[in-house]
Amino acid sequence: MKVENNQPIKIGIRKAIRLDVPQIFELIQELALFEKAPHEVTNSPEQLLKDGFGENPLYGCYVALANEKAVGMALYYFRYSTWKGKRLYLEDIIVNEKYRGKQIGRHLMDAVLDESLKTNCSGILWQVLDWNEPAIQFYKKYNPTFDNEWINVAMSKDDVSLYLSKL
């Protein structure tokens, strides 16, 4: 694989380690800029470290490395469905802009799909923004079911506090 000045690079995929967290956070910020919502990022490298590498990790992550630098990541966690049991939820696949189109996203997705089988999940699910046509086309290669029936619902911590304060 070649990037920049036709210099060869080697891409490797592995599970993230604590030392990857600053680069993971940079990729998260890059995604937020792409989605035109950098102000929505309230997470921090410190929180990522605590939540992903503490005694009871809340998420797992694969990184794509180019010359020892994380240029892509796939963050996932497990959820439980009353109907389906244990499911793997893919939160985000992010590939640094200059490394896109080089099969890195495919390798990250394959690692996550493999993780879902290794951990005995009944399936995998994720979301994609309806305007992100490159991502939609990427995901279509996996022949998933796109669901237009369910509506996303969310409350921020402030929303929850405000609601509960009125009880």
Task: Please answer whether residues 52 and 16 qualify as being in contact, where contact means their C-beta atoms are separated by less than 8 angstroms.
Answer: yes
DSSP class per residue in 50-62: HHHHSSS-S-EEE
Contacts of 44 (CB under 8 A, 6+ apart): 25
Model confidence pLDDT, tens digit, residues 134-167: 999 999 999 999 999 998 999 999 999 999 999 9
pTM listed for this prediction: 0.91
Model confidence pLDDT, tens digit, residues 59-86: 999 999 998 899 999 999 999 999 999 9
CA distance 31 to 42: 13
Mean pLDDT across 117-145: 95
Q: Which domains does the chain have, with CATH numbers?
A: 2-165 (3.40.630.30)
Range name among 1-5, 7-11, 26-30, 118-122 with the lowest pLDDT average: 1-5
- Active-site entry in 59, 62, 139, 163: 139
Task: Please answer whether residues 56 and 77 qualify as being in contact, where contact means their C-beta atoms are separated by less than 8 angstroms.
Answer: no
Residues 50/70/26/132 CA torsion (nearest 10 deg): -110
Among 38, 41, 125, smallest CA distance to 89 is for 125
- What's the chain's length in residues? 167
Please confirm, yes or no, whether 139 is among the known catalytic residues: yes
